């Protein structure tokens, strides 16, 4: 459909598009979008780094169910989470060296374990990427609402606006969005590590104050109110551990984004992974340690659980996040430090979603290339980004944000299931990968390296598999089942898409010595409603094609109009017979379809060519007034075997204005090729 038919003025629409996402890039400029390590770190690591803003909160929040005494487990849980992250980072360093093409976990599983395992990983990652955006943006909206009272109650709206902002930035291209987001990410790292260093320094000198909540007590809830049994407490600690493992989300994004790195790609990706793991662990351990030292109190239901001299604080009390409480205490003498930490944390939570905006489209492109998703997802947009994947991710995240009203506590229960499914299957695939290579490798040094890599991946498999079981047990009834259902639906859908593409491919494949088969004859039909210039043009085009049979056909809806048409036809001596089809019920489409089918039935080896005169108009409202019968008829004829439909355009005067607008669009968009610069050899 021509763009001038749409309801948006093309020139203004294209100018707006250029202002939002920038000038088009040629395919040959793809190398210019590759990322150095200093930009790749904030692009791919912002998700894992930002988890410092909510992973410690989730640990303390879960433990608070058993009361204040359970907080003694927080540092132990944090250490185990850090250990798991170290193992996962070490394992994924093997992945990026072995599979640098960007398929990540999907490619590892698909290559070593088969298509079913590959699709399982892909569906898990796609769901996790959507949840990453929803959780990060919702968390940022909650931070913003605590700082800006006007946003209270409008968190979902603020979150949707943030998603749209990220979508626009990523449509501008990976490198440009990475450059724009690099500074805030580095500011976050510096502020959190700086706050931690300042806090530990004050602790060493003995003047580190307690948190503002240190004097509060925490009332246990539910079954813990009468005392925590050993099994119940163990289950609670495991649940806290599974929530804290949110810190590991985003680690896999680097293995999926290796093609976006500058050369040497795999080496740079592995180095970025190491930096990610080191910085994330340092920040998380520091936050949990300082929270214990400063006696931070953080509860799931602060209105009833937090007690001041035995009295609940009530619904008017606002509970600051753990990092916010730490910053207030550590910078009690320097308020700009607190505001800097709060602002940097809020911004990084928005930017954390950027990791998913880089991982989801790339994975979607690979799946589309393998025919598991629509082929459109494999197409790069104007800025060489996978624009369709970016838009789909944004739409899915907005749906979740609105469905859960941007409540992090509800969304977090769906989180991390997918990522640990992909972790576990990927590590299984890597173990099989090294085992397969060891069967044929003869070089002793190379074999020793492979054995070492297999041991690392085997440890990773054991660790991530254990965490996956814990996550499923502790979070299934709290909402994780929704994520699992979404994975199953995606898995079945991708299987169906692949089956469709395979079926179409088989239908279209040339079998044996099949040759070009010409039809016996061509029966041309020109549809006529009135005798005017568009009709004469269609008759001329049809005659120029030299069909075996040529006739004009009209539907006798109104006898008086049909008689007038016949009289005009005879008066102008049109040398082509006019056939009038009876229509007692004043239908147009059905009589034509029946007539065409009758011709096909009488001569199955003939081709029926239907010529339809159409107006080309310049305004959207003109399109509503014309061509509706033609559109309906073409839609029906497409399903009739052996029938070809040709639209014969007739440009009305208003279409000239549309062409002028289109010419202006091309000039504005910079599509007119500039003269090449002279080289020294031309002078």
Rounded mean pLDDT of the chain? 81
Give the Cα separation of 662 and 658 in Å (integer): 6
Query: Cα separation of 346 and 53, whole Å?
Result: 9
| pLDDT at residue 467, as a whole number | 85
Alpha-carbon span 236 to 234, nearest angstrom: 5
How much is the pLDDT for 409? Answer: 64
Residue ranges with strand state E in 437-577: 522-527, 549-556
| pLDDT tens profile 374-419 | 888 877 765 556 778 888 999 999 998 888 877 766 776 677 788 8
Spell out the SS3 assignment of 96-117.
Answer: HHHCCCCCHHHHHHHHHHCHHH
| For the chain, percent of residues with pLDDT exceeding 70 | 84
Task: Give residue 27's pLDDT.
Answer: 42
Q: Which residues contact 550 (CB under 8 A, 6 or more apart)?
A: 524, 526, 542, 543, 576
pLDDT of amino acid 358: 76
Domains in the chain: boundaries: 35-101+126-355+386-413, 522-668
Same CATH topology for 35-101+126-355+386-413 and 522-668?
no
Contact 139, 249 (CB under 8 A): no
CATH architecture of 35-101+126-355+386-413: Up-down Bundle (1.20)
pTM: 0.71
The predicted pLDDT at position 536 comes to 92
Question: For residues 338, 339, 343 and 344, what is the CA-based torsion angle, rounded to 10 degrees?
Answer: -40
- pLDDT value of residue 193: 94
- What's the fold here for domain 522-668? Rossmann fold (3.40.50)
41-94 pLDDT tens trace: 877 777 778 888 878 888 898 888 888 888 889 999 999 999 988 888 888 888
Per-residue pLDDT, 634: 86
Angle at 545 between CA 557 and CA 642, to 5 degrees: 65
Percent of the chain with pLDDT over 90: 24
- One-letter-per-residue 3-state SS of 234-300: HHHHHHHHHHHHHHHCCCCHHHHCHHHECCCHHHHHHHHHHHHHHHHHHHHHHHHHHHHHCCCCCCC
pLDDT at position 527 is 93
CB 495 within 8 A of CB 119: yes
Q: Which residues pair with 261 in a beta bridge?
A: 35
pLDDT digits (tens, 9 = 90+) for 522-539: 999 999 988 988 899 999
| Res 566: pLDDT | 92
Low-confidence stretches of the chain (pLDDT < 50) are: 1-13, 15-17, 19, 25-32, 175-176, 668-683
């Amino acid at each position: 459909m021509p763009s001038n038919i749409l309801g948006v003025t093309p020139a203004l629409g294209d100018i707006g598009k250029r202002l939002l996402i920038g000038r088009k890039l040629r395919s040959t400029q793809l190398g210019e979008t590759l990322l150095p390590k200093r930009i790749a770190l904030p692009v791919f690591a912002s998700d894992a780094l930002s988890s410092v803003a909510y992973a410690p909160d989730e640990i303390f929040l879960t433990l608070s169910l058993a009361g204040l005494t359970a907080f003694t487990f927080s540092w132990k849980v944090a250490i185990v989470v850090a250990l798991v992250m170290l193992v996962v980072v070490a394992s994924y360093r093997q992945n990026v060296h072995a599979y640098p093409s960007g398929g990540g976990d999907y490619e590892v599983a698909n290559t070593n374990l088969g298509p079913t395992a590959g699709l399982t990983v892909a569906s898990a990652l796609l769901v996790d990427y959507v949840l990453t955006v929803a959780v990060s943006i919702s968390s940022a909206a909650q931070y913003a609402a605590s700082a800006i009272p006007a946003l209270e109650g409008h968190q979902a709206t603020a979150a949707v606006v943030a998603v749209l902002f990220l979508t626009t930035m990523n449509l501008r291209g990976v490198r440009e969005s990475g450059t724009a987001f690099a500074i805030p990410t580095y500011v976050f790292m510096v502020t959190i590590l700086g706050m931690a260093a300042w806090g530990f320094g004050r602790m060493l000198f003995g003047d580190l104050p307690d948190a503002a909540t240190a004097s509060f007590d925490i009332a246990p809830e539910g079954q813990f109110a009468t005392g925590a049994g050993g099994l119940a407490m163990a289950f609670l600690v495991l649940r806290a551990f599974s929530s804290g493992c949110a810190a590991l989300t985003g680690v896999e994004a680097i293995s999926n984004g290796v093609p976006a790195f500058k050369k040497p790609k795999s080496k740079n990706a592995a180095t970025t992974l190491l930096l990610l793991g080191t910085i994330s662990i340092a920040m998380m351990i520091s936050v949990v340690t300082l929270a214990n030292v400063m006696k931070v109190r953080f509860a799931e239901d602060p209105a009833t659980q937090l007690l001041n001299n035995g009295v609940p604080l009530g619904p008017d009390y606002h509970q600051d996040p753990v990092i916010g409480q730490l910053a207030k205490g550590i910078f009690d003498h320097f308020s700009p430090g607190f505001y800097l930490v709060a602002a940097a944390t809020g911004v990084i939570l928005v930017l954390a979603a950027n990791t998913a905006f880089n991982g989801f489209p790339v994975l979607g492109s690979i799946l589309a290339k393998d025919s598991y998703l629509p082929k459109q997802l494999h197409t790069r947009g104007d800025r060489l980004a996978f624009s369709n994947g970016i838009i789909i991710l944004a739409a899915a995240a907005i749906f979740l944000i609105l469905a859960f009203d941007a409540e992090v506590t509800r969304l977090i229960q769906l989180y991390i299931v997918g990522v640990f499914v992909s972790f576990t299957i990927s590590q299984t695939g890597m173990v099989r990968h090294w085992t397969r290579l060891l069967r044929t490798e003869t070089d002793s040094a190379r074999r020793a390296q492979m054995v070492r890599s297999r041991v690392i991946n085997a440890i990773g498999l054991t660790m991530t598999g254990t965490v996956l079981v814990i996550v499923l047990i502790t979070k299934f009834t709290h909402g994780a089942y929704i994520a699992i259902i979404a994975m199953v639906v995606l898995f079945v859908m991708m299987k169906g898409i692949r089956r469709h593409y395979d079926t179409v491919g088989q239908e279209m494949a040339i079998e044996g010595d099949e040759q070009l088969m010409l039809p016996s004859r061509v029966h041309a039909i020109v549809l006529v409603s009135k005798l005017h210039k568009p009709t004469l043009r269609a008759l001329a085009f049809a005659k120029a094609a030299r069909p075996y049979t040529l006739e004009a056909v009209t539907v006798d809806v109104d006898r008086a109009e049909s008689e007038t048409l016949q009289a005009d036809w005879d008066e102008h001596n049109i040398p082509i017979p006019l056939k009038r089809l009876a229509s007692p019920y004043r239908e147009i489409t059905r009589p034509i379809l029946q007539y065409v089918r009758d011709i096909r039935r009488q001569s199955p080896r003939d081709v029926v060519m239907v010529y339809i005169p159409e107006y080309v108009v310049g305004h959207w409202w003109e399109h509503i007034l014309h061509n509706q019968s033609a559109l309906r008829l073409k839609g029906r004829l497409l399903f009739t075997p052996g029938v070809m439909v040709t639209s014969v355009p007739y440009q009305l005067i208003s279409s000239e204005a549309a062409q002028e607008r289109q010419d202006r669009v091309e000039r504005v968009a910079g599509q007119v090729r500039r003269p090449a610069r002279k080289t020294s050899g031309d002078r």
